[in-house]
Structure formats: structure tokens, C-alpha cells
């Protein structure tokens, strides 16, 4: 029986480590979801915030959970009882399953049901950002900000896209300054502004 090379051992170790990390993050987010009443779903914050194109290493139990969410909400769609919040959850599940096109459709359906949903616009913008459609991403982030100027995550997402993906540091600084006018004490935006202003 052939022995594994050092590279193969390292690759297996990295994969196992990623699986453990994703499993721990999922458990923490699940606990936070129960204890925090938040407009933005915790899973969405972890997977669809400022780091596009994350490597998705599904843990079997986690994948099963997302598949169950898809199944449950799809059934609601068929019987006409799916709400905008359900469709946002559906989009989040699709993102975590690596199905960006399906997530985009779910977010568009959420917006059709509730055009005032800042979260749906933010999540849709994240999809466009991850597909490198920066014009559509920018439009949807700005709509999300107009609908909810108190949501720091949208300013951060847009600033990240400007600075890290579009090489437009000044626009990133400007949007963070705009965010700090709306939410003056937000330490995350202050820290990001300091970093981008270097």
C-alpha cells in the first residue's frame, strides 16, 4: 500500500481543519440566532459579508440542514405561503450550498414580495459582487443603504468591494464616512476606515 506524500498529508490536514472550523462557526451562529433578534440572518453575516469567493467546505450535517431549508421553503413556495423572510433564508441556504444563481433568484423573489427589504438588496448585491458584476452590486448596495441607513454591514460590504475588488480606495473611504455619519459609534467601520486610509 502506497504511503501518502507529505503534500497529500498536508492537504488532508487542511481539509479536516477547514471542516472543523466551518462546523464550529455554524454552531456558534446557530446559538447566536436563537439568542439575538437580528434583521440579518447570522448565517448570512458569516458567509455573505465581506469575504467573497470563500472556499465552501460543507460539513455533512450542515449541508443536510441547508438542503432541508431549501426543501421546506420550496414547499412553501409551491403552496404560496413563502414570505420575503423565507425567500431570504432560501437564498442564504443556496449560497451555503454554492448555488449562486439559485440564491440570486431567491433574493429577487424576496424583493418582489417586499421591496422595502434592505437585507434582500444587500444579499443580492453580495451575489453580484461574487459574480464580479460590480455595477449591479453597487446599485443594490446603495438601495439597501437607502432603505436602512443604520445597517453597518451594507456600508462595509460596499467599501470592501470598492477597495479590495475594484481598487477604488477613495470610494471605499467615502462610503465608510457616509456610514459613520449615520452610525457614528460603529467601531468596525472606524477600524476599516483607518485601514483603508493608510
- CATH for 19: 1.25.40.10
* Count of structural domains within the chain: 2
Whether residues 36 and 131 fall in one domain: yes
- Segment 14-28 shows an average pLDDT of 74
Residue 6 lies in a domain: no
Q: Which residues of 130-167 are buried (b: 16+ CB within 10 A; e: fewer)?
A: beeebeebbebbebbbebbbebbbbbbbbbbbbbeebe
12 — pLDDT class (breaks 50, 70, 90):
confident
pTM score of the predicted model: 0.70
Q: How far is CA 79 from CA 93, 107, 113, in A?
A: 20, 19, 15
Residue 108 lies in a domain: yes
pLDDT for position 165 = 95
Whether residues 106 and 178 fall in one domain: no
2 φψ region: left (φ > 0), alpha (ψ -120 to 50), beta (else): beta
pLDDT for position 133 = 97
Say if CB 196 and CB 173 are below 8 A apart.
yes
Query: How far is 94 from 105, CA to CA, in rounded Å?
Result: 10
Residue 1 lies in a domain: no
Residue 137 lies in a domain: yes
Whether residues 84 and 167 fall in one domain: no
Whether residues 111 and 46 fall in one domain: yes
- Segment 97-121 shows an average pLDDT of 97
Domain that holds residue 183: 149-198
pLDDT for position 5 = 75
Amino acid at each position: 500500500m502506497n504511503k501518502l506524500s507529505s503534500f497529500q498529508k498536508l492537504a488532508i490536514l487542511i481539509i479536516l481543519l477547514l471542516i472543523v472550523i466551518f462546523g464550529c462557526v455554524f454552531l456558534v451562529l446557530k446559538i447566536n440566532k436563537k439568542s439575538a433578534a437580528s434583521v440579518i440572518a447570522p448565517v448570512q453575516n458569516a458567509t455573505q459579508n465581506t469575504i467573497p469567493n470563500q472556499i465552501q467546505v460543507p460539513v455533512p450535517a450542515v449541508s443536510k440542514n441547508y438542503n432541508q431549508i431549501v426543501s421546506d421553503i420550496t414547499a412553501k413556495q409551491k403552496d404560496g405561503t413563502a414570505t420575503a423572510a423565507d425567500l431570504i433564508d432560501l437564498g442564504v441556504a443556496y449560497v451555503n450550498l454554492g448555488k449562486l444563481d439559485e440564491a440570486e433568484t431567491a433574493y429577487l423573489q424576496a424583493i418582489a414580495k417586499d421591496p422595502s427589504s434592505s437585507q434582500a438588496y444587500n444579499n443580492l448585491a453580495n451575489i453580484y459582487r461574487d459574480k464580479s458584476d460590480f455595477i449591479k452590486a453597487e446599485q443594490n448596495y446603495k438601495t439597501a443603504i437607502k432603505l436602512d441607513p443604520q445597517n453597518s454591514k451594507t456600508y462595509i460590504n460596499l467599501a470592501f468591494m470598492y477597495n479590495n475588488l475594484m481598487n477604488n480606495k477613495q470610494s471605499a473611504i467615502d462610503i465608510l464616512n457616509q456610514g459613520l455619519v449615520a452610525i457614528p459609534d460603529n467601531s468596525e467601520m472606524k477600524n476599516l476606515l483607518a485601514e483603508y486610509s493608510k
